[in-house]
Amino acid sequence: MAFLEYLQLIAFFGSAIFTVLLISLVIIQKSVTTPLPVIKRHKQEKTFLDPNILKNIEFPSIEDEPSVDLSVIVPAYNEEERMPSMLDECLEYLENKSKSANFTYEVIVVSDGSSDGTVALALKYSKKYTAEKVRVLELIENRGKGGAVRLGMLSARGRNLLFADADGATTFSDLDKLTEALAAINKDWTEDAVVIGSRAHLEQEAIATRSAFRTFLMHGFHFLVWLFAVRSLRDTQCGFKLLTRSAARKLFRIMHVERWAFDVELLYLVERLNIPVREVAVKWQEIEGSKLTPFWSWIQMGVDLFLIWFRYTIGAWQIVDTTKAHSE
């Protein structure tokens, strides 16, 4: 057999094998996923404790009319040590703003199946500031950061909704920048708009302090994000994002990813739905105690990025009317 014929034979069988594998992957993905997410919420997770009257009260729904100006969602998994400084800064800012302007707020701490004193700590803040301003959503089992943020969003009363990391890595007063950018897009909570905090301006400084391996992982992750999901934004992972109620209702009812890559799916949907979005530079510092393990977390997120693109591309996941998203 001539060498050229041998290569053609290899190419033929290689193409056949690839086609079979691709068809199999499509069939598997369509059989193991649902077009819309199944949002699980236990009965106990539908209420919050008011520590001042020792009574459980039912959370409202994002489908309701808003009753405060801002909801701050704080996902927390075993954050007993890092969360106090974040909540102190957050609540001092919000209290000062509420005293100097006609402004109302709530903070929802979502304990994502924590096994330490996260819930007890958050309830101390609820007792001090009242459950009107600080509420604790205690999840029975760990969902992942995306799952925790989603349930917090679906329980919020705000016209605008912010989610902020419990470690306090972002300076909370930078919310002013995000609020101004949001108002420049849409002044009404009934219209869609998203503004995200960004650390892209700090990238060179971060590279100077990181190992070559971590820098390689960072650039690899950014490339995969650009390749599979989000192309108009530089920093998808900063945990400081502000949405109008309309946008939050639309997005968090249809999102599937519940772990670290949920930010990417969120912004993928923002681009697909043509929701107006802006990126705003914020101050940020790395806080010790991260739950991410650099290598394996990036591998998992890389897989998640491919699956986000693949599942939406083949229709295993669908972008449809959010009122049809279902729960159990």
Residue 10 lies in a domain: no
Q: Which domain holds residue 85?
A: 43-316
Least Cα distance to 267 among 295, 305, 293, 299 occurs for 305
- Measuring CA to CA, how many Å separate 217 from each of 32, 80, 213, 298? 30, 29, 6, 7
What is the pLDDT tens value at each position of the chain, 328 positions in all?
Answer: 576 766 777 776 677 787 777 787 778 877 778 889 999 999 999 999 999 999 999 999 999 999 999 999 999 999 999 999 999 999 999 999 999 888 999 999 999 999 999 999 999 999 999 999 999 999 999 999 999 999 999 999 999 999 999 988 888 999 999 999 999 998 899 999 999 998 766 555 544 445 566 666 667 778 888 888 998 898 888 879 999 999 999 999 999 999 888 999 999 999 999 999 999 999 877 766 565 566 667 778 888 899 999 999 999 999 976 544 445 5
- Amino acid found at 34: T
Give the CATH number for residue 268. Answer: 3.90.550.10
Radius of gyration, CA atoms only, the chain? 22
DSSP 254-272: T----STTHHHHHHHHHHH
Between CA 178 and CA 319 the distance in angstroms is 27
Residue 235 lies in a domain: yes
Residue 297 lies in a domain: yes
Least Cα distance to 192 among 276, 257, 121 occurs for 276
For residues 143 and 38, is the Cβ–Cβ distance under 8 A? no
Q: Which residue has the tokens 């969003």?
A: 153
Residue 287 lies in a domain: yes
Q: Which helix (H) or strand (E) holds 135?
A: strand 134-139
Between CA 274 and CA 135 the distance in angstroms is 33
Residue 254: per-residue pLDDT: 95
Q: Which residue has the tokens 């897989």?
A: 303
Give the largest CA-CA distance in the chain.
86
Residue 206: per-residue pLDDT: 47
For residues 73 and 153, is the Cβ–Cβ distance under 8 A? yes
For residues 111 and 137, is the Cβ–Cβ distance under 8 A? yes
User: Does the global pTM surpass 0.85?
Assistant: yes
Least Cα distance to 251 among 160, 154, 186 occurs for 154
Between CA 81 and CA 121 the distance in angstroms is 10
Residue 21 lies in a domain: no
How many domains does one find in the chain? 1
For residues 36 and 316, is the Cβ–Cβ distance under 8 A? no
Which pair of structure tokens corresponds to residue 57?
A: 């009260």
For residues 283 and 197, is the Cβ–Cβ distance under 8 A? no
In terms of residues, how long is the chain? 328
Residue 269 lies in a domain: yes
Residue 121, CB-side half-sphere exposure with 13 Å CA sphere: 22
Which pair of structure tokens corresponds to residue 4?
A: 């050229």
DSSP 53-115: TTEEEE---TTSPP-EEEEEEEEESS-TTTHHHHHHHHHHHHHHHHHHSS--EEEEEEEES--
Residue 3 lies in a domain: no
Q: Which residue has the tokens 């530089």?
A: 234
Residue 321 lies in a domain: no
